[in-house]
Structure 1
């Protein structure tokens, strides 16, 4: 392990933008397909990996939803999540806020309870095993209707005390945040935190909508905010956390090369940017690999990496006391370097 990789792996950090279905490694896809008797359109792990060549978000989503077909039982969701938590712990993640897409599963007949109970049991195991805290973010699929989102919010009612936030993901273009303003208002009234994907492929206006109409607590991605100077100033003034995903940006052609990634520009502009892995099984790296890859490509020094880790903890939905304890853990690490 290089000095940079060792430093990054040791940094106590939070991961705030992680789709648990996007951690489905090809080996797991075959394992779950076999035990559930599900046919998949690939002959080998290598063939699956070869399919991970995307030109845009929709290319990825097509294979992402196909992969989710193998997830059928509570044990599947538990095994999927604990495998992620194990990898995250090795990457120095001390707190994870994981997104899940219930509509991806309920629309094919999987009970909401099956999904969430598997995730909850994995969270408990990760805390016991690694001392890692975690939170759940329930995402609505934006290509589906507002009515479907309201139905999902109703299904979640028995578990709302164990769901921290709602999110908005899937196909961004043509599905502006304003489409879900009423659902977000209902979730806010129930005490849930609010996040939304905006400004990945969608225009800066989608970020404005997320801020002004959805009244989000955090922006997922947000890269295209930099095209609008007034928006950038607003995000900085609000200390709005942006959950940036460098390897995802590269894999989905949001950027042409990691050398062009705007992460350091975001920091220079006073934005509360963080580093996350998004859908790491599909995009070529978990969170530490995202830190290391963008650090090498952009020449980020250790102070910048520490700022990114600090931003992740400060931008988390942990209670203030727990947040302070995690930040102290980070400062202790930095003092020893």
Structure 2
């Protein structure tokens, strides 16, 4: 079995996926025409040519411009269903989708419009491909904590449909501690909590996310490699890291994939997972991230199975749902 087939055959969970970041240029232009939205680019080719990012902020500027085409429930449904179709081809059995309501509500799109479209796509993905899913509401960290609390208030009538909360957007200058009250309230409400930390921000942000926000997973977390004490803690506590290798290279966190610390994190015993982040912008969905990383770092098939197992174990699903996936995975030859 070649590497491509092996990777796509691995039952895996995707735990770090921004649904707005799956907006391919072709769909962006289709929705722009349908909804009468003017884009900064005049063609699909020009849009793709703009995907040369110098850092996280240069990506976010383009990301928010593209998201402006998402207005109606049907738009969010089509966006998410297109992702699920690709995920199915990549061997994803469970996906936990980040969505950014503040990106849309500030444009006058109702919170329920976003949620209704995404939830309908989740139901359709279960029916068509048997893909399980969860929705994780992310707060934009470049906005204030009070704005995050306002968004949480909008979410309260819908909490039965939201599985957890996260923290994303510009990391530099916006430490996790900025959102201590917000995340304390989310924990009181019984929501799972995760946060982006240690991508462009320092290892200290990972510590804050753990100790102040009380997160269960760290999104990215790659700069933990700079702090031996933190590495030891993450290994001991088996805190999952939702690493996004192609994203890290595209956003200049590492010059090349061969210089990525994922192998070092694995060797240190950390619970590393591989995910695609914003695949429409970063050059590959989850299987491509596995394949390119394996080739760049010389990962063995046993290590790839371990990474897939980590993703299933770190997912927010009951053990009864997880067990059959793990049995399938264990039955695969390494």
Q: TM-score range with shorter-chain normalisation?
A: over 0.9
Which residue pairs with 1:134 in the alignment? 133
1:281 shift after superposition:
0.1
Which residue pairs with 2:256 in the alignment? 257
Structure 1 SS opposite 2:321: helix
1:329 shift after superposition:
2.3
Which residue pairs with 1:224 in the alignment? 223
* RMSD value, Cα: 0.8
Structure 1 SS opposite 2:174: coil
- Point out the more displaced range, 309-318 or 320-329: 320-329
- Distance in 2 of aligned mates of 1:159 and 1:48: 35
Which residue pairs with 2:48 in the alignment? 49
Which residue pairs with 1:318 in the alignment? 317
Which residue pairs with 2:170 in the alignment? 171
1:331 shift after superposition:
1.7
Structure 2 SS opposite 1:216: coil
- Distance in 2 of aligned mates of 1:40 and 1:300: 41
- Distance in 1 of aligned mates of 2:147 and 2:328: 41
- Distance in 2 of aligned mates of 1:128 and 1:55: 40
Q: How big is each residue's C-alpha offset from its partner over 1:22-70, in whole Å with a ceiling of 9 and x where there is no partner?
A: 0000001000001001111111100000000001000000000000000
Equivalent pairs, count? 334
- Point out the more displaced range, 323-332 or 224-233: 323-332
- Distance in 1 of aligned mates of 2:275 and 2:286: 5
Which residue pairs with 1:283 in the alignment? 282
Which residue pairs with 1:302 in the alignment? 301
Q: Does 1:119 align with 2:118?
A: yes
Runs of 4+ in 1 over 6 A off after TM superposition: none
- Distance in 1 of aligned mates of 2:47 and 2:313: 37
- Distance in 2 of aligned mates of 1:4 and 1:135: 29
1:327 shift after superposition:
1.1
Q: How big is each residue's C-alpha offset from its partner over 1:185-215, in whole Å with a ceiling of 9 and x where there is no partner?
A: 1000000000000000000110000010001
- Distance in 2 of aligned mates of 1:275 and 1:41: 32
Structure 2 SS opposite 1:32: helix
Q: Which residues of structure 1 form unaligned runs of 5+?
A: none
- Distance in 2 of aligned mates of 1:285 and 1:300: 18
Q: Does 1:243 align with 2:242?
A: yes
Report matched runs for 1:1-337 at 5 Å: 3-332=2-331, 334-335=332-333
Q: Which residues of structure 2 form unaligned runs of 5+?
A: none
TM, length-normalised to structure 1 = 0.98
